[in-house]
Amino acid sequence: MTQKTTSWNWHQQRLKPHFLALEDGSVYRGFSIGHPQDAVGELVFNTGMTGYQEILTDPSYSGQIVVMTNPEIGNTGMNPEDPESAGLFLEGFIVHELNQPSSWRSSGTVEEHLRNHRIPGLAGIDTRALTLKLRDHGTMRGYLAVEEKIDESTAVAKAREWPGLDGVDRACQVSTKEGFEWDADGAKTLSWGIAENLPPADLTVAAYDFGIKWNLARRLRQVGMQVKIVPADTAAEEIMALRPDGLFLSNGPADPAAVSYAVENLRKLLGRLPVMGVCMGHQLTALALGAKTYRLKFGHHGCNHPVKDLRTGKVEITSQNHNFCVDADSLPAGAEVSHLNLNDNTVEGIENKADGFFSVQYHPEAAPGPRESQYLFSRFRENILSSPKKPS
């Protein structure tokens, strides 16, 4: 099935016959807005109305082609203050209408950013129709054809041939290769102008980088923590040698069950330090406890997911980006479900007060997204201060 060409940018679409081919044989035509190189990846849709710069720079999208459901993208441009990492890790970017920026904060366009980082993009297609397909049929593999070297049937075949992300460790690809202290001079943490000064960093946390977003480290520093970011495969013994007051587990891409080395290290660390996990960090915590994870039909990607805190009864509107989820029935005794997704009742948080850990599936750093969950960073600090556990 080939999508009908709309009147929007019809002339450009005819001049530039670029397209997206899905594994089910569907073809969506548009025109290139990024680096002129074909790409293959897993199609996911993001329902965020804003924050596309943070989405583009989120390492958790490694291996994926991101489809924005908001029909208007590009209005706020790109700027040096809002990235969530030093680069772009996604495979491709798809929008309906790409606009020129009109924000005073903008120092560049989306199209320029995609080209500078060698990421292909496609505009001019019906992204809502594509989103409905993914919702109805689940996540699909897609081939983004912008080089004008292959036909539609070949692109469909290439999409089908791509092995996908199940069982694939992408955390090792996006993680830092060497440990470092986050923002020693405070410049990155204060870059948004949210405060003139930072509190003293009287606590130290080691943060596993499975694809960490900068705003996670920023939020930890804002509650008085010095953050030492370490590679994804750092051994448990090396973590303890740093003598941190707590351990933070970051977000990351692809299948958590494939990051087996991290699971083994966490089994040696849980119970020895206060721990906070986010997204993949949450999934890895569950796996280290002996629980299981599974793939969602089309994942959770956006800034409008309602989550209920089972301890207080309050509902938070959260930012999310994940395709895998913790199996509640597989959780061992002592690991309590603390949060639930109100859209599909999937696990959004677990905790064990005795062992001093908690984790959430959603993104409390709010980049992009609502800020209702930022209390979790203060809670982590409180857990550290009240913990009798000391590095040994």
Domains of the chain: 10-161 (3.50.30.20), 171-386 (3.40.50.880)
Q: Which residues pair with 93 in a beta bridge?
A: 66, 121
Q: State the pLDDT at residue 390.
A: 53
Q: Please indicate whether residue 172 is annotated as part of the active site.
A: no
279 is catalytic: yes
Catalytic site residue from 279, 325, 348, 351: 279
pLDDT at 47: 95
Q: What is the pTM of this model?
A: 0.94
> Is the Cα dihedral 312, 318, 321, 324 positive or negative?
positive
Distance CA 20, CA 236 (A): 43
Is 237 among the catalytic positions? no
Q: Which of 54, 91, 316, 365 is catalytic?
A: 365
What's the confidence (pLDDT) of residue 284? 98
Distance CA 166, CA 259 (A): 11
Q: Where are the beta strands (DSSP E) in 310-362?
A: 315-326, 336-341, 347-352, 357-360
DSSP for 272-319, written as a single string:
TB-EEEETHHHHHHHHHTT--EEEEEEEEEEEEEEEEETTT--EEEEE
Each residue's pLDDT, cut to its tens digit, for the chain (392 residues) gives 444 334 444 444 444 579 999 999 999 999 999 999 999 999 999 999 889 999 999 999 999 999 999 999 999 999 999 999 999 999 999 999 999 999 999 999 999 999 999 999 999 999 999 999 999 999 999 999 999 999 999 999 999 999 999 999 999 999 999 999 999 888 888 876 667 789 999 999 999 999 999 999 999 999 999 999 999 999 999 999 999 999 999 999 999 999 999 999 999 999 999 999 999 999 999 999 999 999 999 999 999 999 999 999 999 999 999 999 999 999 999 899 999 999 999 999 999 988 899 999 999 999 999 999 999 999 999 999 998 765 54
Tell which residue, 340, 219, 343, 330, has the closest CA to residue 285. Answer: 330
Query: What pLDDT is stored for residue 3 in this prediction?
Result: 42
The pLDDT of residue 391 = 54
Catalytic residue among 18, 35, 282, 363: 363
Long-range contacts of 340-345 (CB under 8 A, 24+ apart): 340/307, 340/308, 340/310, 341/300, 341/305, 341/306, 341/307, 342/306, 342/307, 342/308, 342/315, 343/300, 343/305, 343/306
Contacts 24+ apart (CB under 8 A), 148-151: 148/17, 148/18, 149/38, 150/38
